[in-house]
Amino acid sequence: MTIFGQFFLEFGIIKTTIYRDNKLSIKTMVIFLYGQDSYRSRQKLNEIIEEYKKTHKSGLNLKFLDVEEVGFSIDNLTDETRQSSIFKEKKLVVVKNLFNDADLKEKFLKIVKEMLDSEEIVVLYEEQKIKKSDSLLKFLKKSAKVQEFESLSGVKLSNWVKKEIESRNIKIDPIAQDLLLDYVGEDLWWLSNELQKLSNFKKNSDGKVSTKSRILDKVGTIEDTRLRFHRESSIGSGQSRDKTITIADVKLLVKPKIETDIFKTIDAIAQKNKKQALNLLYKHLEDGDAPLYLLSMIGYQFRNLLIVKDLAERNTPYNLIAKKSGLHPFVVRKAYDQMRQFSLQELKKIYQRIFEVDLNIKTGRIEPEIALEMLIMKL
């Protein structure tokens, strides 16, 4: 059996096998990768492609079809699966965004059974959540290899970060990891980028500064000077051998998402410090943050406060609040501290007020910036 065949056997992807002339031949493989977590689904797609290339080095029978490209028709797909390769190689056809076109999806459902009897490998790839009631999804679950990549959160997200850190031969302080997740959120693309940045920084903190770092240091920007000072300070303090990412490293290198500053705004509102809350609001607006986005983030945070407060008043043990609410443990911890400043009734009124403001903005009854100012003044 080829390496490619062994690979697909290991991953349970082979749909059917047949024997011809005493040799094992892999028959049809239809694979469906989908879900909101495009980072992990793209990793899996790349694994399949790279494994295919190991056996079929020419790459001439590796085809990519995007349903959203101008001129695409279902014939493009059927032609690829029906026409035999002149090199007698098995084809690998990757089809993207099929579920975005209802008509093409219905046509595909009619011909997919034919594909299950072909000699080619078809990978359907979607970077979105698909409804469980979808007829094509139901069929594929019964007849093909299907793998969903849901967005990671809570413990699953923390475990993913730990594995990524281990793969880079480095460590991270648990509190620093919580801070990193608070800064970045659940975007694995962004998380991976920040982990690589932190990893490179710690690996270069042993005094062996990379060529790129030396060039940047000569340029002398404020940010690069801060990085150099932090790196040299670590070396001087005997920390060079410690390859553990710390809170200081995260604060130095990772730029937080807007949600972190929204926490500060909520804190100011909770402490009845309207002046500070307004100053924070003005800073967001000056930085170019859209008023409706700011309102949605404020609404999101008060929604979390309402959920945590409601569970707390139902005498739910603290360690079960994250599980029952579905919120990240760090978010629960922040919300648990903040919700003490409000009664459940107050939170309900505030959330209702946010809803009304959102409606007034979207119906053109009030200017967004003015609406946000008035909201904070009345809270």
89: alpha, beta or left? (left if phi > 0; alpha if psi -120 to 50): beta
Cβ atoms 41, 69 nearer than 8 A: no
Mean pLDDT for the stretch of residues 305-309: 92
Tell me if the domain spanning 3-148 has CATH number 3.40.50.300: yes
Phi then psi dihedrals of residue 243, to 5 deg:
-95, 40
Lowest mean pLDDT among 28-32, 85-89, 137-141, 197-201: 85-89
Q: How confident is the model at residue 234 (pLDDT cuts 50, 70, 90)?
A: very low
Give the right CATH number for 154-253 from 2.20.25, 1.20.1260, 3.40.1350, 1.10.8. Answer: 1.10.8
**How far apart are alpha carbons 308 and 316 in whole angstroms?**
9
Of the candidate ranges 47-61, 80-94, 111-125, 189-203, the one whose mean pLDDT is the lowest? 80-94
Contact 351, 302 (CB under 8 A): yes
For residues 71 and 76, what is the distance between their CA atoms, to the nearest angstrom?
A: 9
Q: Which residue has the higher pLDDT, 58 or 191?
A: 191
On the question of pLDDT at 210 being above 80, the answer is no
331 versus 4: the higher-pLDDT residue is 331
**Distance between CA 222 and CA 228 in Å, rounded?**
10
pTM of the model: 0.56
* pLDDT of 207 strictly over 80: no
Lowest mean pLDDT among 12-26, 161-175, 218-232: 12-26
CB-based burial, 267-286: b 16+ in 10 Å, e otherwise: bbbbeeeeeebbebbeebbe
pLDDT number for residue 17 = 31
Q: Bridge-partner residues for 123, per DSSP? A: 31, 94
Contact 205, 231 (CB under 8 A): yes
> Is 258-378 a CATH 1.20.272.10 domain?
yes
More confident site: 259 or 73: 73
> Which of 50-63 are b and which e, b meaning 16 or more Cβ less than 10 Å from the residue's Cβ?
ebbeeebeeeebbb
> Residue 219 phi/psi, 5° resolution?
-60, -40
For residue 326, count other CB atoms closer than 10 A to its CB: 10
* H-state helical runs in the chain: 3-10, 38-55, 74-82, 102-115, 135-143, 154-167, 174-184, 188-203, 211-219, 222-236, 247-253, 258-270, 274-286, 291-313, 318-325, 329-338, 344-362, 368-378
Among 49-58, 136-145, 224-233, 266-275, the least confident range: 224-233
Which residues are bridge partners to 108 per DSSP? none
Reply yes or no on whether the pLDDT at 228 is more than 80. no
Is the pLDDT assigned to residue 218 strictly greater than 70?
Answer: no
Mode of pairing for the β-strands spanning 23-26 and 17-20: antiparallel
More confident residue, 115 or 229: 115
Mean pLDDT over residues 192-218, rounded? Answer: 63
- Position 309 pLDDT exceeds 90: yes
Closest to 251 measured CA to CA, from 275, 227, 270, 234: 227
Domain chopping of the chain, boundaries: 3-148, 154-253, 258-378
Residue 289: DSSP 8-state: -
Over residues 36-62, the pLDDT tens digits come to 898 999 999 999 999 888 888 777 888
Among 10-19, 95-104, 119-128, 344-353, which stretch is predicted with the lowest mean pLDDT? Answer: 10-19
Question: What pLDDT does 83 receive?
Answer: 63
Please state, in angstroms and rounded to a whole number, the distance separating the CA atoms of residues 323 and 302.
19
Q: Residue 35: what pLDDT?
A: 92
Q: Tens of pLDDT along 259-297? A: 666 777 877 877 778 888 898 888 888 877 788 878 888
Q: Tokens for 58? A: 């020419």
> Alpha-carbon distance 180 to 312, whole Å?
26
Which residue matches tokens 């062996």? 208
pLDDT attached to residue 240: 39
Of 212, 181, 368, 379, which Cα lies nearest the Cα of 284? 368
Q: How many CB atoms lie within 10 A of CB 19?
A: 8
162-172 confidence digits (pLDDT tens): 999 999 999 99
Tell me what the pLDDT averaged over the chain comes to.
77
Question: For 114-121, what is the mean pLDDT?
Answer: 74
Which has more confidence, 118 or 51? 51
